[in-house]
Amino acid sequence: RLLAGIESLAKDLTSIVDGKNISFLDAARSAGYAKEHNDLSSVFLKKGSYFAFVELHIEQGPILEKEGTSIGIVTAIAAPASIKADFEGTGGHAGAVLMPNRNDAGLAAAELALAVEKHVLESGSIDTVGTVGILELHPGAINSIPIKSQLEIGYSHKPEEYASCEDMENGVKVLALTLAKLSLQ
């Protein structure tokens, strides 16, 4: 989009910053690019000088290497979805509250993470993946029982699999069963 002359993108890449207050242009400079440019519009291609673009992707997994294949063709684009789950438990000192008396929000999050893995592996689809990429425990101290936890689950399916009502229903059941187990403790 930048090469095609989308001016709003050029502006956004200089003004929007990441969590460390670094813009795209600043990151490009620190990596050795755009040393002499303050304006990303200098990379715009002139209108009418192109007909189409081919977008190349570097495989981020081991499949092609494992198969000894030097190049692959994309046959589908995964449809990502995400779910954020929050758990509340009862905090306390890890040495003073005995295991049978705990309501640990961290363990509830861990059980959900394992349930996601089990659900995806049992889906029967090689292309369906589920990842708990963010897991936060509060207060986050080695000698404190987590009173709160939050995790984010990322799912990715082929589009024809993603739309399956049964698949979505099963995902909700996994979440509901985990929540129910937490509330029984």
| Domains in the chain with CATH codes | 2-43 (no CATH), 79-183 (3.30.70.360)
What pLDDT shows up at residue 182? 60
Residue pair 44/37 in contact by the 8 Å Cβ criterion: no
What pLDDT shows up at residue 45? 81
**What Å distances lie between residue 25 and 56, 59, 65, 97, CA to CA?**
22, 25, 33, 51
Specify which residues 87 forms β-bridges with: 149
pLDDT, averaged across the chain: 81
Backbone torsions φ then ψ of 83, nearest 5 degrees: -130, 135
Q: Is the pLDDT of residue 62 over 80?
A: yes
pTM: 0.60
Q: Is the pLDDT of residue 163 over 50?
A: no
In sequence order, what are the residues at sequence separation of 6 or more whose Cβ sits closer than 8 angstroms to the Cβ of residue 125? 157, 158, 161
Which is more confident, 143 or 129? 143
In the chain, DSSP assigns E strands to 79-88, 92-93, 129-138, 144-145, 148-157
Amino acid occupying residue 59: E
In sequence order, what are the residues at sequence separation of 6 or more whose Cβ sits closer than 8 angstroms to the Cβ of residue 8? none
